[in-house]
A = this chain, B = another copy of it.
Amino acid sequence: MSTPLTIALDAMGGDHAPEIVVEGASLARERFPNLRFLLFGDEAQLRPLLAKHPKLLEHSEIRHTDQVVTNDMKPAMALRNARNSSMRLAINAVHGGEAEGIVSAGNTGALMVLSTVVLKTLPGVDRAAIAGYLPSVRGDVVMLDLGANLDCDANNLVQFAIMGDVFAKTVLGLPEPAVGLLNVGEEDQKGHEYVREAAAILRESDFSLKFHGFVEGNDVLEGKVDVAVIDGFTGNVALKSAEGVVKFYSTLLKEAFQSSLLARFGYLFARSALRKVRERVDPRQYNGATMLGLNGVVVKSHGGTDALGFANAIGVAADMGSFGYNAKIIAEFERFETDRVPQTKTPTPA
């Protein structure tokens, strides 16, 4: 952790940029003192913000640009017309080798498309996937794809499984994560054909990952697996539904504790215990969806996050950079290509 690690920041992306970007970077440096930042954005706004954080200022460099990818900009438009945007220039810095990774709280679709086009996928990786992590009874769970690929085939899911496995080992520090495929039941004959085919490949091949089999939606939160793999359409809807429940439940609790004088007293007594619950389900703790499989580390922060959330997103990039996530993926996919040879000999059903 002592070699310096440079992260490019899209300082203008997100609802509360550039304030939370600068504050988030400052918080992140407290946890990762080896971090250096390249901040892409409006120098006139960034300069006074950085001035408040002298330590951060020492390890940061501002790269001025006026152009911004707005939230309502279509990805194709961002690709053609925003070549000098803070997001694009930050991605270019990763591509040019100046930075190990980029963190942005801006337009998700644009970040996905720009980083895929500029950085390209790692050797052997067909499609990049968005991974996030969420809490479970047993610890954190990595889930992917969360929306980069709406339609997937068996091979995509197998690749996502490998990328998620290495993420769990690298970022969550799990020695032997259990990897599951999300499905509508645990039995072999259940679900889409491509999901069953992916299971067959993962079961039969000599991967270095521990394949658990199928899991259902509720199993993820119960911590039956450490990595849950699914197509991007289902993953996106499921994750957002889960987030919706957390918000709903939290709202109900808040209302309940304000509903009577007795309940208010109760809250006062239980406050410190309840704070722990709130921290456990706090979306800021799980901020930082990652584009896995690209030639460079790309982390997307929630657009509406605060400085703490943004710092956590930087933390994900720092972990991936420090522990050589991409080098591990390249090595794993070389193994995978070798493993796959007997598999491709078997004709797949039409």
- Option from B182, B248, B273 in Cβ contact (under 8 Å) with A135: B248
- Whether B221 contacts A184 by the Cβ 8 Å rule is no
Q: Which of these, B243, B251, B267, B281, contacts A270 with CB under 8 Å?
A: B267
Q: How far is the CB of A130 from chain B (nearest CB, A)?
A: 11
Instruction: Find chain B residues with CB under 8 A from A270 CB.
Output: 256-257, 262-263, 265-267, 270
Do A219 and B237 form a contact, CB below 8 Å, given A256-B270, A265-B269, A281-B252? Answer: no
**How many of these chains are in the complex?**
2
From known contacts A245-B245, A249-B249, A270-B256, infer whether A240 and B216 are also in contact, taking CB-CB under 8 Å.
Answer: yes
The answer to whether the Cβ of A239 comes within 8 Å of any Cβ in the partner chain is: yes
Q: Which residues of B contact A272 (CB under 8 A)?
A: 260, 262-263
Give A268-306 as 1s and 0s: 1 = Cβ < 8 Å from B's Cβ atoms.
Answer: 111111101100110000000000000000000000000
Q: Mark A129-146, 1 if CB is under 8 A from B, else 0.
A: 000000111000000000
Q: Is the CB of A239 within 8 A of B263?
A: no
The answer on a CB contact under 8 Å between B236 and A233 is: no
Q: Inside 8 A of A239's CB, which chain B residues have their CB?
A: 217, 241
Would you give the 0/1 interface string for A218-255, flagging 1 where the beta carbon is closer than 8 Å to chain B?
11111000000010111011111111111111011100
Residues of B close to A246: CB separation below 8 A: 245, 249
> What chain B residues lie within 8 Å of A260 (beta carbons)?
272-273
A18 contacts partner chain B, Cβ-Cβ < 8 Å = no
Cα A184 to Cα B220 in complex, Å, equals 20
Does B277 contact A237, Cβ atoms closer than 8 Å? Answer: no
